[in-house]
Amino acid sequence: MEEKKKASEAHMRATAKWEKENYDKVLVRFPKGTKDKINATGAKSINGFIVEAVQEKLDQ
């Protein structure tokens, strides 16, 4: 069986640094059931759905 390679500590630090420099992280909380409703739309991911919804609202 093929074993997955683990990322080195240096790689994980570099990735975290890059993400910190290039992304804003925001914690959002929704009422129970919202996740199921998002999944029911056929969205590829919950994060992608939220990002798209926010961008649409900001573009208005």
What's the alpha-carbon Rg for the chain, to the nearest Å?
17
Distance CA 52, CA 54 (A): 5
Question: Could you count the other beta carbons within 10 Å of the beta carbon of residue 38?
Answer: 18
Give a yes or no: residue 38 inside a domain: yes
Q: How many folded domains does the chain comprise? A: 1
19 within a domain of the structure (yes/no): no
Contact indicator for 50, 28 with CB cutoff of 8 Å: yes
Residue at 47 is within a domain: yes
> Has residue 16 been placed in a domain?
no
- Give the model's pLDDT for residue 1: 61
Q: Which residues neighbour 50 within 8 Å (Cβ) at sequence distance 6 or greater?
A: 28, 38
50 phi/psi in degrees, rounded to 5: -65, -45
Q: Which tens digit of pLDDT belongs to each residue from 1-54?
A: 667 788 899 999 999 999 999 999 999 999 999 999 999 999 999 999 999 999
Question: Is 53 a domain residue?
Answer: yes
Q: Give me the pLDDT at residue 7, please.
A: 87
Residue 42 lies in a domain: yes
- Domain holding 55, by residue range, is 27-60
User: Whole-prediction pTM value?
Assistant: 0.70
